[in-house]
Amino acid sequence: MAKKEEKIEKKTTFNISKEDNFSEWYTDIIQKAELADIRYNVKGCIVFQPWSVLSMEKMYHYMEKALQRKGHKPYWFPTLIPETNLKLESSHIGGFTPEVFWVTSHGNDEPIEEKLALRPTSETAMYPMFSLWIRSYKDLPFKIYQRANVFRYESKATRPFLRSREFHWIEAHCAHATQEDAMKQVHEDMETTKEVLHDIYCLPFIFFERPAWDKFPGAERTFAADVLNPDGKVVQQPSTHLLKQSFSKAFNVQFKDKDEKDKFAWITCYGPAISRIFASVIIVHGDNKGLVLPWKIASKQVVIVPINNSPNLIKKAEELKKQLEEKEIDVETDLTEKRPGEKFYFWEMKGVPLRIEIGEKEIENKELTIFRRDLGTKDKIKEKDLISYIEKTSKEYQTAMIKKSDSLFNERIVEVSQKEDIKKALEEGKIVKTGFCSVGMDGAKCAEIVEKEVGAQVRGTKLEKEIPSGKTSKCSICKKKAQAVVYIAKQY
Amino acid sequence: MAKKEEKIEKKTTFNISKEDNFSEWYTDIIQKAELADIRYNVKGCIVFQPWSVLSMEKMYHYMEKALQRKGHKPYWFPTLIPETNLKLESSHIGGFTPEVFWVTSHGNDEPIEEKLALRPTSETAMYPMFSLWIRSYKDLPFKIYQRANVFRYESKATRPFLRSREFHWIEAHCAHATQEDAMKQVHEDMETTKEVLHDIYCLPFIFFERPAWDKFPGAERTFAADVLNPDGKVVQQPSTHLLKQSFSKAFNVQFKDKDEKDKFAWITCYGPAISRIFASVIIVHGDNKGLVLPWKIASKQVVIVPINNSPNLIKKAEELKKQLEEKEIDVETDLTEKRPGEKFYFWEMKGVPLRIEIGEKEIENKELTIFRRDLGTKDKIKEKDLISYIEKTSKEYQTAMIKKSDSLFNERIVEVSQKEDIKKALEEGKIVKTGFCSVGMDGAKCAEIVEKEVGAQVRGTKLEKEIPSGKTSKCSICKKKAQAVVYIAKQY
């Protein structure tokens, strides 16, 4: 059990630079903004605190609404998966077994009937049920999702939100009649990612098709969104996979087609890991004053700070709070004993988009001072204009955050043609665009050189096919004619 | 793995009477309304299907909003709890150990560092953290909750929603400076139960203080809401507990009080099990045509059924759907190939509160026919009045369901004074009110007689203190002077 003495001292200043020392900045902000407590006594498991949970609940909301709009139905599958299910598809079990937590007993060490895995992902829980539910082409496409927590016994060092032994995600799984329909689903998943991660969470990313040697265990094709950290490492965010038919064969997911023939379905799966995506929200948007949360997913969207706790200021604060809540805006009122400056500092660190300051003068003039977290600017408005101001500014806020993060991301991509230049560019925190001999298994050898000599990974090719030419016409490693334009980066 | 051959034949009629054969009715409705699939291949674990998940998500929403409004902050704690944590409080581990699932290995049968329990409930995960977070009386009351799935290796027969080895709940835990404050919290929890279970889910119940011999492991006092099944068995729904200080002592949850002295906190916990409460929603409201869902938690609130799929009817259906969705009403449009009668039957079985029927005649007269599930009545309204009709009817619907279920519940309580009459009344599906010698440990002997000879349990005393008198003046078992008025029922 954790002891009182272990209590971490809370620092009162935020003096670590995101640019100079990203890793320490990240650790510090998680503690200061009270996003997660890492002192829980199971390795790799953390306690998610209210400030992150409130935001992640909103992230869930938007992702689930998008999936439902596109015809996915919500399910809750069991957490426990029998070992026999896991063993049915050999490439899958090969990929996941090292990371599985096993339940082997109950009560006073009595053995259970069959060894059970804590789901590392739910293909092997879901597809046996697909086999029961899907009979005819009329049942297809069969589109489902679940909100769930999953478990992976990570051997790599864990970090809160980025990599934990238990994390919180959504997994969407679909069965289709043809490979073509399945590929359409993969593209729909990528579109959903754009609509939610980019347009709502304000995160820039590139979807890459992973090369042959770096696919999801059991996948025919894997597409994954890479988000960029300030230290130049990419974080893999949602991936979507066209699975091999070995899955539908292993789990007997068959249907009677229009031609009366029994056929195996084509299955796709898509996995946005909400708690991991929240890491990117912290990292991409945060600055040296703390968090900057996008309007739509901010734990609280507005904080009202009376400059002192005199009764008429408190009354005004309550009045404004009520007015905003009627518009379904999440508002916090800070009536603590702290000085105004401390309060300002605190809510900036917490990343609240807008702060309303009220003092005696504001009341007298029927005015409000509103501070905007992303730009650090203040507006003075008439109190009666509050709602229209917030409605307008919240839209601008969302747009401005998207624009800013997109532009920072795009600046970080450079085109190079020499191995030495790859190394240099990566050291400067860039993503490298370059020519490559092949993204089929033929290219694995050059990829190994990239891994060993540059310490980076070939992330894959962009969706919009890019034809090797000019700087990208030759493989930057073996100098053979390039078959593909690939992107190289260090992976978190 | 489940095989195709196991597919259960779907019956096309609903011909089991809830009154005559409750148990079979329950099994049947779960399958027909596609609420859960029990064919998953881990004993006691089921797959929750979209129709129940959509409703349970709304149940979560209302419960979480109520808790947040009352100052509870949301957390996500790890699922895994080290054995050492569980062992710290002896009565707790005694009560829960038999039901614990243990994780003992990972990967290729490599042992893990320490045996980990899948949380059966989270006291022992949370309170070590409370110990780190709570320092001073200023930190109190400390009120939190989490939405989580929990695991209990049930030895009793499992039934979907009612009793599973994995279920979905909310647990709220609070730390207080004094026992008095803690008891106020217990009362607040009961008030929350009324606001949500009764006023939103339309469920009638009585909160009983459990007798001394039937408390939560480690509790000083236990209060639990009993809901009634048509077969006369009660189902324990949310319970709230004043824990013994042995918990705060075991987990070192101390604070410095105003008088500068270090004191142990008083802890309370409250556990509404959403997936189990959904069982009561099915059971209490359902009838021989199927589900009847309360307006506020209905998976879909309105279904639009064109009597055929002619283009102008489809167009009208889409138009109405859009209109309703703008008012945030959950609408389904049935454009399947089925005959109108089949569609009507289907959506009644699914429990959708309102059905809008549109045919050529309706379009011509700019009218709509609206069927109301709870009463089985039809209204003809002007199309232009749709929104105002729905707004008015939805409120009436919610009120009518509450009134109906309350009145059925109250009819079922009878006062008796003889042991033989207890038995008779229970056989008629009643809850018995009677005099009892004591609800302290002194009464355990008479309670045992009730258990053995009547096959029922003493549920406890009502909150509003009832003074034994008249029929309840003597203990119906030992005939001594009654110290308490208790309620006796068979427990599911």
- The answer to whether the beta carbons of residues A38 and A157 sit under 8 Å apart is no
In angstroms, the CA A34 to CA A349 distance is 10
Same domain membership, residue A50 and residue A76: yes
Q: What residues have CB less than 8 Å from A457, skipping those under 6 apart? A: A214, A447, A450, A451, A488, A489, A490, A491
- Which residues of chain B are within 8 Å of residue A97 when distances are taken between CB atoms? 107-108
B334, B366, B397 - which closes a domain: B397
Q: Got the DSSP string for A412-461?
A: TEEE--SHHHHHHHHHTTPEEEEEES-SSGGGHHHHHHIIIII--EEEEE
Query: pLDDT of A318-377, one tens digit each?
Result: 999 999 999 999 999 999 999 999 999 999 999 999 999 999 999 999 999 999 999 999
Asked whether the ipTM of the predicted complex exceeds the cut of 0.90, the reply is yes
With respect to residue B402, please indicate whether it lies within any of the assigned structural domains: no
Range of the domain at A251: 9-81+121-285
- Which residues of chain A are within 8 Å of residue B151 when distances are taken between CB atoms? 79-80
CB proximity under 8 Å: A 83-122 to B = 84-85, 88, 97-109, 112-113, 116, 118
With respect to residue A217, please indicate whether it lies within any of the assigned structural domains: yes
Backbone phi, psi, residue A436, to 5°: -145, 145
In angstroms, the CA A144 to CA B292 distance is 25
Same domain membership, residue A272 and residue A156: yes
Q: What is the 8-class DSSP label of residue A372?
A: E
Same domain membership, residue A177 and residue A51: yes
With respect to residue B62, please indicate whether it lies within any of the assigned structural domains: yes
First-last CA distance in chain A: 31
Q: Got the DSSP string for B311-364?
A: HHHHHHHHHHHHHHHTTT--EEE--SSS-HHHHHHHHHHTT-SEEEEE-HHHHH
Same domain membership, residue B179 and residue B53: yes
Best of A101, A166, A276 to mutate (most B CBs within 10 Å, chain B): A101
- The answer to whether the beta carbons of residues A60 and A218 sit under 8 Å apart is no
Same domain membership, residue B418 and residue B393: no
Query: pLDDT of A183-206, one tens digit each?
Result: 999 999 999 999 999 999 999 999
- The answer to whether the beta carbons of residues B436 and B458 sit under 8 Å apart is yes
Same domain membership, residue A427 and residue A395: no
**CATH at residue B177:** 3.30.930.10
Same domain membership, residue A317 and residue A182: no
Report long-range pairs for B20-24 (Cβ below 8 Å, ≥24 apart).
Answer: B22/B229, B22/B230, B22/B231, B22/B283, B23/B231
Model confidence band, residue A2 (pLDDT cutoffs 50, 70, 90): very low
B260, B285, B310 - which closes a domain: B285
With respect to residue A145, please indicate whether it lies within any of the assigned structural domains: yes
Q: What is the 8-class DSSP label of residue B252?
A: T
pLDDT of residue B96: 82
With respect to residue B2, please indicate whether it lies within any of the assigned structural domains: no
Minimum-distance CB partner of A50 among B73, B100, B108:
B73
What count of other Cβ atoms lies within 10 Å of the Cβ of residue B83? 16
- The answer to whether the beta carbons of residues B381 and B399 sit under 8 Å apart is no
Burial (Cβ within 10 Å: 0-12, 13-18, ≥19) of residue A80: buried
Query: pLDDT of A398-423, one tens digit each?
Result: 999 999 999 999 999 999 999 999 99
pLDDT of residue B89: 81
Same domain membership, residue A272 and residue A223: yes
Minimum-distance CB partner of A252 among B4, B99, B133:
B4
Q: How far is B72 from chain A (nearest CA, A)?
A: 10
Same domain membership, residue B102 and residue B76: yes
- Which residues of chain B are within 8 Å of residue A99 when distances are taken between CB atoms? 106-107
Number of domains in chain A: 3
With respect to residue B211, please indicate whether it lies within any of the assigned structural domains: yes
CB proximity under 8 Å: A 285-324 to B = none
Same domain membership, residue B356 and residue B319: yes
Of A15-19, A39-43, A449-453, B425-429, the poorest mean pLDDT is in A15-19
Those residues of chain B that have pLDDT short of 70 are: 1-14
Same domain membership, residue B273 and residue B305: no
A372, A402, A432 - which closes a domain: A402
**Contact state of B47 with A104 under an 8 Å Cβ cutoff:** no
| Residue whose structure tokens are 């809008």 | B356
**Contact state of B106 with A153 under an 8 Å Cβ cutoff:** yes
- Which residues of chain B are within 8 Å of residue A48 when distances are taken between CB atoms? 75-77
Residue A43 has pLDDT above 60, yes or no: yes
Model confidence band, residue A14 (pLDDT cutoffs 50, 70, 90): low
- The answer to whether the beta carbons of residues B2 and B39 sit under 8 Å apart is yes
Averaged pLDDT score across all residues of chain A: 94
**Encoded tokens for B141:** 């009351």
State the virtual CA torsion across A402, A403, A405, A407 in degrees, nearest 10. 150
Angle, to 10 degrees, between the axis of helix A386-411 and the axis of helix A274-285? 90
> A73 in contact with B at a CB cutoff of 8 Å?
yes
pTM of the predicted protein model: 0.95
Residue A6 has pLDDT above 90, yes or no: no
In angstroms, the CA A370 to CA A329 distance is 15
For β-strands A262-264 and A254-256, DSSP reports them as: antiparallel
Same domain membership, residue A269 and residue A381: no
Minimum-distance CB partner of A106 among B54, B88, B102:
B102
CB proximity under 8 Å: B 130-159 to A = 131-133, 135, 144, 149, 151, 153
Model confidence band, residue A299 (pLDDT cutoffs 50, 70, 90): very high
With respect to residue A460, please indicate whether it lies within any of the assigned structural domains: yes
**Contact state of A107 with B97 under an 8 Å Cβ cutoff:** yes
- Which residues of chain B are within 8 Å of residue A88 when distances are taken between CB atoms? 1
Minimum-distance CB partner of A79 among B2, B125, B149:
B149
**CATH at residue A308:** 3.40.50.800
> A2 in contact with B at a CB cutoff of 8 Å?
yes
CB proximity under 8 Å: B 231-290 to A = 251-252, 254
- The answer to whether the beta carbons of residues A234 and A489 sit under 8 Å apart is yes
**CATH at residue B452:** 3.30.110.30
- Which residues of chain A are within 8 Å of residue B2 when distances are taken between CB atoms? 128-129, 131-132
With respect to residue B405, please indicate whether it lies within any of the assigned structural domains: no
**Contact state of A4 with B254 under an 8 Å Cβ cutoff:** yes
Q: What is the 8-class DSSP label of residue B9?
A: P
